[in-house]
Amino acid sequence: MSSATADNPAGRKPWRHGDACVIAHFRLTPKSSKDAVEGITDTGDGPAFQARVRAVPENGAANAALEDVVARWLGLPKRSVSLVSGGKSRLKSLRIAGDAVLLDQILQVKVDEFQR
């Protein structure tokens, strides 16, 4: 586990290892002025990445935009990122396919960038 931070006092990560993937948790704000992953926020279910997308939450548009934003943010092909839960909720779980250890390292670098 990573060390505790002001945004994440328990030191928990907003992702976990899956089978040939990581499952990352996001809190999504649709109808925003930009598409971005902006940091980590605490939710009732634990820490989650805070993401914003311009898309509206109709017909899966915001979910598809989140998948695209996360893939670009991590430098991965779009097909590597897919929604696994939270289709109609602000709290989403995304499956990020690939080597879990490598993805863990990439996500940790992204978390460290938020803290600068």
Tell how strand 91-97 and strand 81-85 pair up. antiparallel
- pTM confidence score: 0.88
Residue scoring higher pLDDT (80 or 7): 80
pLDDT in tens, 17-67: 998 999 999 999 999 999 999 999 999 999 999 999 999 999 999 999 999
Q: Which of 96, 38, 27 is nearest to 67 (CA)?
A: 96
Q: Please say if the pLDDT value at position 7 is more than 70.
A: no
pLDDT in tens, 98-109: 999 999 999 999
pLDDT in tens, 83-96: 999 999 999 999 99
Residues 6+ apart with CB under 8 A from 7: 39, 40, 41, 42, 47, 114, 115
Q: Which of 26, 86, 25, 29 is nearest to 52 (CA)?
A: 29
Residues 6+ apart with CB under 8 A from 13: 1, 2, 47, 107, 108, 111
What is the domain partition of the chain in residue ranges?
15-86
- Radius of gyration from C-alpha coordinates of the chain: 13
